[in-house]
Copies of this chain bind each other. A is one copy, B any other.
């Protein structure tokens, strides 16, 4: 059993590296995650990640062979899931109780997720009556550390004529999130794909009587479920 002492003892940096690794491995479902990929994701140099990975290996949170791919141990994974739980609970709190908008919650949650207190997060969960999803549509891991992914594909993977429902958005970019709201899209919006343009992969979509053309990059960050 992973024991209570683990969560503490970790620096903010160590936590951020483990979370990033989890996001690349599990959320992006990558076949292989390498040192440089992690570096790019975290916007640090490959030397920095190499160094931190070394440390996380001695602490038994990460496993890898020299020049080989990176993997999380069960313990490393558990820490990452707890961070994601904290992050998403805080985002939900900011959004539902403190008048934060879609695009404002992520940055502050990035800080709040590192506050060390079991009671704080479990009480926050209770206070909000155990919410299932965060403001971007993602599932919040429960107190037992169970992590589930909502079934979804990217809008960019659809073809002409497909009809889908927006179930989640990538919350990494403030500008992207603002733009999503601006054009009138929100969680649960029903979207119809009118046309996929071959030469630049831009997509013409329709939702609530609005027709918009969005880029491939935009569509990559919108997660949907075909209806």
**Given A108-B117, A111-B117, 4 other A-B residues pairs in contact with their CB atoms under 8 A:** A99-B123, A108-B120, A111-B115, A115-B115
Q: Which of B94, B108, B112, B127 contacts A97 (CB 8 A)?
A: B127
Interface residue A98 (Cβ < 8 Å from any Cβ of B): yes
Q: Does A55 contact B (CB under 8 A)?
A: no
Asked whether, in the complex, the Cβ of A98 is within 8 Å of the Cβ of B120, the reply is yes
Chain B residues whose CB sits within 8 angstroms of the CB of A112 once the complex forms: 112, 115
**Interface class of chain A by DSSP:** helix
A111 near B116 with CB under 8 A, answer: yes
**Which residues of B lie under 8 Å from residue A117 when comparing CB positions?**
107-108, 111
User: In the docked arrangement, what's the CA distance between A120 and B97, Å?
Assistant: 11
Tell me whether A104 is interfacial, beta carbon within 8 Å: yes
Determine if A119 is an interface residue (Cβ-Cβ < 8 Å): yes
Q: Whole-angstrom distance from the CB of A133 to the nearest CB of chain B?
A: 21
Q: How many copies does the complex hold?
A: 2
Min Cβ gap A117→B in Å is: 5
**Which residues of A approach B to under 8 Å, CB–CB?**
94, 97-100, 104, 107-108, 111-112, 115-117, 119-120, 123-124, 127
Complex Cα distance A23/B117, Å? 25
Residues in B neighbouring A94, C-beta threshold 8 A:
120
* Distance from A83 Cβ to chain B, minimum over Cβ atoms (Å): 15
Report B-chain residues with C-beta under 8 Å of the C-beta of A104: 119
Q: How far is the CA of A49 from the CA of B16 in the complex (A)?
A: 30
CA distance A111 to B107 in the complex (A): 17
Report the Cα distance A116→B116, complex, angstroms. Answer: 16
A119's contact among B100, B120, B123, by CB below 8 Å, is which? Answer: B100
Residues of B within 8 A of A119 (CB): 98, 100, 104, 108
Q: Which residues of B contact A107 (CB under 8 A)?
A: 117
A125 to chain B, nearest CB (A): 10
Please list the 6 inter-chain residue pairs (A to B) with the smallest Cβ-Cβ separation, ordered nearest first. Answer: A98-B123, A108-B117, A111-B115, A99-B123, A108-B120, A97-B127
Residues on B with beta carbons closer than 8 Å to the beta carbon of A97? 127
Task: Report the minimal beta-carbon distance from A122 to chain B, rounded to whole angstroms.
Answer: 9
- Looking at the assembled complex, report how far the CB atom of A6 sits from the nearest CB atom of chain B, in whole angstroms: 18
